[in-house]
Amino acid sequence: MELAQLPDLNVKGTPSRADVKKCYECFKVEYPDIYIEILETWKETQELADMGGMVAQCQLLFNKAAKNLEHMVSNSLAS
């Protein structure tokens, strides 16, 4: 899906490191003020998905992810 952002790139199969780097650079240009927050939120969702753990741990991670997402949305609306 991210590779679709690069019209000059025709990737079949697993993208090369150079292709991934181009995608990342485009991502940073598209979201210069919040790309780090987007990546942190994505990482947190992956942690939540992979976590079995106790309900209290899941709740803490969920609350942290929700707070970061709220912060990211308010920053993007303010820009």
- Per-residue pLDDT tens for 16-42? 888 888 888 888 988 898 889 888 888
Q: What percent of the chain has pLDDT over 90?
A: 0
Both 41 and 63 in a single domain? yes
Both 71 and 51 in a single domain? yes
Q: How far apart (Å, rounded) are the C-alpha atoms in residues 21 and 49?
A: 26
- Beta-carbon-side half-sphere exposure of residue 30 (alpha carbons within 13 Å): 10
Both 57 and 42 in a single domain? yes
- Domain with 2, as residue range(s), is 1-30
Both 26 and 47 in a single domain? no
Q: How far apart (Å, rounded) are the C-alpha atoms in residues 69 and 46?
A: 14
Number of structural domains in the chain: 2
CA 67 to chain centre: 15
Both 23 and 45 in a single domain? no
